[in-house]
Amino acid sequence: MLESTIVVMNKNPFPLASYSGSESFCGRIAETKQLTDALLNGRNTLLISLRRMGKTSLILHVFGHLHKQNSHKTVYVDIMNTHSVDDFLSKLGTAILNINTSKSKKMLSVVLNYLKSFNPVMTFDSITGVPSVEFKSNSVLQSQQSFDSLLSFLESQPFKVSLAIDEFQQITHYSDKGFEAFLRSKIQHLKNVSFIFSGSQQQLLSEMFSSPSRPFYQSVDYLKLERIPASEYARFILERLKSTGKDMDPSLAMETLEWLDGYTFYVQNFYNKLWFLSGKLIGKHDVEETKRQLLMEREYIYTNLPNLLTPLQYKLIKGIAHETKVEQPNSKQFILKYQLGTASTVNSAIKSLIEKEIIYYEHGGYKIYDVFLWQYLRTSVQ
């Protein structure tokens, strides 16, 4: 009894993994409902946000709910590291092979039967025994037929399927430029399978889904993940701390959320560290020590930034960091204050910093993407 209590007490309530179950997942009630309703009603959704805001966690959270329904199965594929339609098929095929394998091996033989004409290479992980499949098609036609078969397989199952394709913008980089249109033409007829398309390259994704000339035009519901409201986040943090016997003043929690710009990934990182650095009652000193350590650990990378950027780009991000958010970086006032030269050179520096994902534009202003870098630049003298 005592032992199990100690184990619970020692478990960090702010795990860094993408999704560790509903108790370490804060809020997102409306978003969870929207996604679940869409999936249960056969509607497809485009889920977008800034990087690291919580898309994958939300998908896995929603899938966790759907798992409880016997008539529903979920398939999650992250296609970030895929470079061709064959890579895509291998990921999808592997995810489908692993639906329910713990309960029945039947799925494996049925899927294999479906795919046998495409000669996929099957392997089993030597330690876990988890099966995977690899496609090597001879032609575009063959890869399209394999894909068609995978979808017909899902369509013919006695259960409904929710299929999430994470980092969906990646398909625009495949050499088979017709794949986007092919995919759209196939999925629009499915009755048994609903999709979540997700990603953080918002520019690429909005072009795919909102440009009339593109195959996916107006084919989905939209869900944009914003920050979790600070008061809701603070409540969650205090509850998580309490669950391990720790306490903190609510106003101090609100202050930390401001310092972290309420950005999910950074909040989780910060509290993961604060939790193990602190005692039962968390005070200002613990918070300051956590900030200090987090910035110090990253100093090595951040001090190298001037070597990776032009002097103007570096001055520009320092200016943006000092202001927190800048509506018009090419305005006379901002240029003069931070000695940035001309409006046109600022414009091209902004474009390049967005491409490098060092800054982003949202809600009428430019901000630094990495919250810890923002805080580092605000306080550094360099």
Ligand X SMILES: Nc1ncnc2c1ncn2[C@@H]1O[C@H](COP(=O)(O)OP(=O)(O)OP(=O)(O)O)[C@@H](O)[C@H]1O
Residue 149 interacting partner from Mg ion, ligand X, none (CB closer than 5 to 8 Å by kind):
none
Please answer whether residues 369 and 51 qualify as being in contact, where contact means their C-beta atoms are separated by less than 8 angstroms: yes
Alpha-carbon dihedral of residues 268, 272, 275, 278, nearest 10 degrees?
Answer: -110
**Strand pairing of 247-248 and 359-362?**
unpaired
**DSSP secondary structure letter of residue 24:** G
With contacts defined by CB under 6 A, how many residues of the chain interact with ligand X? 18
- When the beta carbons of 80 and 277 are compared against Mg ion, the nearer one is 80
Which residue sits closest to ligand X, CB atoms considered?
A: 54
The whole-angstrom separation of Cα 177 and Cα 381 is: 48
Angle at 135 (CA atoms; ends 82, 61), nearest 5 degrees: 50
Residue 265 interacting partner from Mg ion, ligand X, none (CB closer than 5 to 8 Å by kind):
ligand X
Q: Is 200 a binder of ligand X (CB under 6 A)?
A: yes
Closest approach of Mg ion to the CB of residue 90, in Å: 20
- When the beta carbons of 11 and 337 are compared against ligand X, the nearer one is 11
- When the beta carbons of 55 and 240 are compared against Mg ion, the nearer one is 55
Q: Which amino acid is located at 159 in the chain?
A: F
Residue 49 interacting partner from Mg ion, ligand X, none (CB closer than 5 to 8 Å by kind):
ligand X
| Measured distance between the N- and C-terminal CA atoms of the chain, rounded to whole angstroms | 54
- When the beta carbons of 52 and 315 are compared against ligand X, the nearer one is 52
Closest approach of ligand X to the CB of residue 283, in Å: 23
- When the beta carbons of 51 and 322 are compared against ligand X, the nearer one is 51
- When the beta carbons of 262 and 329 are compared against ligand X, the nearer one is 262
Which pair of structure tokens corresponds to residue 18? 């993408």
Closest approach of ligand X to the CB of residue 311, in Å: 30
- When the beta carbons of 81 and 175 are compared against Mg ion, the nearer one is 81
Closest approach of ligand X to the CB of residue 24, in Å: 6
Q: Is 49 a binder of ligand X (CB under 6 A)?
A: yes
How many alpha carbons lie under 13 Å from residue 136 in its C-beta half-sphere?
A: 2
Q: Is 25 a binder of ligand X (CB under 6 A)?
A: yes
What radius of gyration, in Å, describes the C-alpha atoms of the chain?
24
Please answer whether residues 19 and 63 qualify as being in contact, where contact means their C-beta atoms are separated by less than 8 angstroms: no
- When the beta carbons of 349 and 371 are compared against ligand X, the nearer one is 371
> How many CB atoms sit inside 10 A of residue 134's CB?
15
DSSP string across 219-260: -SEEEE--PPPHHHHHHHHHHHHHTTT-EE-HHHHHHHHHHT
Strand extents, DSSP E, 79-192: 121-124, 131-134, 160-166
* Residue list 216-275, contact with ligand X (CB under 6 A): 264-265, 268
Q: Is 170 a binder of Mg ion (CB under 5 A)?
A: no
Q: Is 46 a binder of ligand X (CB under 6 A)?
A: no
Q: Is 56 a binder of Mg ion (CB under 5 A)?
A: yes
Q: What is residue 105's three-state secondary structure?
A: coil
Which one of residues 38, 45, 54, 220 is an interface residue with ligand X (CB under 6 A)?
54
Which pair of structure tokens corresponds to residue 110? 């049925």
- When the beta carbons of 148 and 226 are compared against Mg ion, the nearer one is 226
Q: Which residues, other chains included, contact 318 with Cβ-Cβ below 8 Å and sequence gap of 6+?
A: 338, 377
Closest approach of Mg ion to the CB of residue 203, in Å: 17
Contact region with Mg ion (CB under 5 A), list: 50-58, 140-148, 346-354, 367-375? 50-58
Closest CA to 10 of 276, 277, 236, 270: 276
Q: Is 55 a binder of ligand X (CB under 6 A)?
A: yes
Residues in contact with Mg ion by CB under 5 A are 55-56
Residues in contact with ligand X by CB under 6 A are 16, 18, 25-28, 49, 51-57, 200, 264-265, 268
